[in-house]
Amino acid sequence: MTDVSRLPGAAHHHWDWQLRAACRGADSSLFFHPPNERGEARDEREKKAKRVCGGCPVRAACLSHALETRERFGVWGGLGEHELRTLLGPAREERDDRDAVCRPAA
């Protein structure tokens, strides 16, 4: 089940930056890879998405949103999935699993 607890509330001021985004109205498939996309095709698609982000007036807000919500998929604020995951570290499930192994038995 999707965890939406980190998403900002419904207040307009949380989302207004999206109205000024360079990607607004663009095909989302440019920013999110299709199933089984690998190698050069994926690299080229991501480069094109990053070029859109390069001149975006709300790039910082987009990246901030992606980091706050721990977005692990797609191109956000000019960073690709690998770059985002590097900044975010392991997913919560992975951390929980590691913590469970490291906790002493009660």
62 annotated binding-site participant: yes
As a whole number, the mean pLDDT across the chain is 84
Neighbours of 77 (CB within 10 A): 21
Neighbours of 74 (CB within 10 A): 17
Give the integer Cα–Cα distance in Å for 77 and 95: 25
pTM of the model: 0.72
Res 96 pLDDT > 70? no
Per residue in 4-55, pLDDT (tens digit) is 777 666 655 667 899 999 999 999 999 999 999 999 999 999 999 999 999 9
Determine the pLDDT at residue 28: 92
Percent of the chain with pLDDT over 70: 76
102 annotated binding-site participant: no
What residue spans define the domains of the chain? 15-102
